């Protein structure tokens, strides 16, 4: 790459470490200039004028309504179809003491999506963007189960079952 | 020496920290596959997820590397069949369809027959085969539905077939009967996909 010249490097470092002298009157001079520019009659930018003097509020009201319409965008009632949609995953496992949902959407990390139970019905909700995801349930930290209500992943390459969920995108 | 050490540090820092769940030897091989895939424009995230799946499921390193390599190959084949403008979800679904047994030509026909995104059509094809429907029958029915069916129609078709199978119907027959109900005939030439409509 290049040969390092430690002597030159040390000299540069010493130069950079030299204290910088600043004129103590600098702040005062800057403030004087600002005050002079801000004096009446010396504003560089003229104040904007409304086309109809005295009719300022109707214009402001119209702008507010237009802004509200643009924000609400009622013509796109379906929203962005590529946005996240929430999906609920459910497993009936009355004997289980813990169930985690793991898959492509949470880096296969059992700690990320622990499921909550109500009388043996374990459930959790996960937001998913469009795509195809493999996932499985980890029961009691040791037992892998596929989702009985979803298609099975065709290639269980690691010897345990997985399921797949496909989230459609635009044009679905 | 210092430069080599520096490069090693930079390389380690550039690796995805999620892959630290793999043992060093496996991680090195997986990173190599991911980097190679990225170099040719393939997405790295599906490969990382496959490696993480293997790690979480306690698979041995060689098995993880084999799975990641196989997926990289399938993603490349899917991209060649679907074209360069394909999205990552479409590529993943295409790879799943290939792994299920669909031929690359089916993916190309599907691309020509249906407006994008193709994710759901490809996924339904893979899911039908995974549920036991012969690959050629599944390909034929998805290609026949592709030009006009919405994603929701395809999903409903898949559910109906799976329901019939769960009730005891042979998978091939279930797909044929459900296809017939939509006006599609699956005969002896099911492996020959119908001529696709022109791309709109």
B146 contacts B121 by C-beta, under 8 angstroms? yes
Residue-level pLDDT at A72:
40
Q: What are the structural domain ranges in chain B?
A: 24-82, 85-200
Residue B93 has which token pair? 């679904």
**What whole-number percentage of chain A has pLDDT above 90?**
44
Judged by a CB distance cut-off of 8 A, whether residue A11 touches chain B is no
Burial of A99 (0-12, 13-18, 19+ CB in 10 A): buried
Question: CB pairs under 8 A, 24+ apart, for B164-172?
Answer: B165/B131, B165/B132, B171/B131, B171/B132, B171/B133, B171/B134, B172/B132, B172/B133, B172/B134, B172/B137
Establish if A37 belongs to a structural domain.
no
Rounded to the nearest integer, the mean pLDDT of chain B is 87
Residue A154 lies in a domain: yes
Mutation target to probe the B interface, by most B beta carbons within 10 A, among A157, A161, A163, A164 is A157
Which range marks the domain in which residue A156 is found? 85-167
First to last CA, chain A: 54
Lowest mean pLDDT among A23-27, B41-45, B125-129, B188-192: B188-192
Domain with residue A163: its CATH number is: 2.60.40.10
* A156 domain residue, yes or no: yes
Domain count, chain A: 1
Q: Give which of B143, B116, B138 is closest to B127, Cα–Cα.
A: B138
User: What tokens does B146 get?
Assistant: 């592709």
Contact check, Cβ <8 Å, A130/B119: yes
Distance CA A26, CA A16 (A): 22
Q: For residue A64, tell me if it sits in a domain.
A: no
More confident residue, B12 or A62: A62
Q: Is the ipTM of this complex over 0.85?
A: no
Q: Check residues B138 and A81 and name the one with the higher pLDDT.
A: B138
Question: Looking at residues A140-169, what average pLDDT do you find?
Answer: 91
Asked if B126 contacts B155 with a C-beta cutoff of 8 angstroms, the reply is no
Of the candidate ranges A51-65, A144-158, B90-104, the one whose mean pLDDT is the lowest: A51-65
pLDDT at B43: 96
The pLDDT of residue B1 is above 90: no
Span B145-174, average pLDDT? 93
- Contacts with A, B 15-44, CB within 8 Å: 18
Alpha carbon A108 to its chain's center = 21
Q: What is the pLDDT of residues A98-120, one digit of tens each?
A: 999 999 999 999 999 999 999 99
Please tell me the distance from the alpha carbon of residue A142 to that of residue A165, in angstroms, as a whole number. Answer: 23
Is B103 an 8 Å CB contact of chain A?
Answer: no
Structure tokens at B162: 């799976």
Least trusted range by pLDDT, from A55-64, A134-143, B23-32, B132-141? A55-64
Asked if B175 reaches chain A (Cβ–Cβ under 8 Å), the answer is no
- Chain A, nearest residue to B121 by Cα: A168
The verdict on residue A14 lying in a domain is: no
Residue among B43, B150, B36, B70 at smallest CA distance from A132: B43
Which is nearest to A96 in space by CA: A136, A146, A139? A139
Q: Chain B residue closest to A111 (CA)?
A: B56
Contact check, Cβ <8 Å, A131/B59:
no
């Amino acid at each position: 790459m290049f040969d390092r010249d430690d002597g030159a490097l040390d000299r540069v470092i010493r130069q950079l470490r030299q204290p910088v002298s600043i004129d103590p009157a600098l702040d005062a001079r800057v403030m004087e200039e600002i005050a002079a520019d801000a004096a009446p009659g010396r504003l560089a930018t003229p104040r904007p004028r409304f086309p109809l003097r005295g009719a300022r509020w109707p214009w402001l009201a119209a702008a507010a309504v237009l802004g509200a319409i643009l924000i609400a965008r009622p013509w796109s009632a379906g929203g962005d179809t590529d946005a996240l949609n929430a999906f609920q995953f459910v497993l009936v496992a009355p004997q289980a003491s813990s169930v985690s949902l793991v898959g492509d959407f949470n880096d296969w990390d059992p700690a990320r999506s622990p499921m909550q139970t109500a009388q043996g019905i374990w459930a959790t909700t996960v937001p998913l963007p469009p795509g195809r995801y493999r996932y499985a349930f980890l029961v009691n930290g040791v037992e892998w189960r596929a989702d009985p209500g979803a298609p099975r992943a065709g290639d269980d390459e690691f010897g345990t079952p997985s399921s797949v969920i496909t989230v459609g995108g635009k044009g679905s | 020496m210092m430069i080599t050490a520096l490069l090693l540090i930079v390389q380690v820092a550039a690796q995805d920290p999620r892959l630290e769940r793999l043992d060093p030897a496996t991680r090195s091989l997986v990173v190599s596959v991911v980097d190679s895939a990225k170099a040719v424009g393939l997405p790295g995230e599906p490969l990382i997820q496959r490696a993480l799946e293997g790690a979480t499921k306690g698979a041995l390193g060689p098995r993880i590397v084999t799975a990641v390599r196989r997926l990289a190959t399938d993603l490349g084949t899917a991209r060649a069949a679907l074209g360069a403008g394909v999205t990552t979800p479409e590529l993943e679904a295409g790879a799943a369809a290939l792994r299920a047994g669909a031929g690359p030509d089916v993916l190309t026909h599907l691309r020509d027959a249906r407006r994008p995104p193709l994710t759901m059509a490809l996924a339904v094809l893979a899911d039908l085969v995974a549920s036991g429907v012969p690959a050629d029958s599944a390909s034929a029915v998805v290609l026949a539905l592709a030009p006009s069916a919405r994603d929701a129609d395809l999903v409903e078709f898949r559910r109906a077939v799976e329901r019939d199978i769960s009730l005891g119907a042979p998978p091939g027959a279930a797909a044929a009967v459900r296809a017939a109900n939509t006006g599609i005939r699956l005969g002896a030439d099911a492996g020959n996909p119908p001529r696709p409509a022109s791309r709109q």
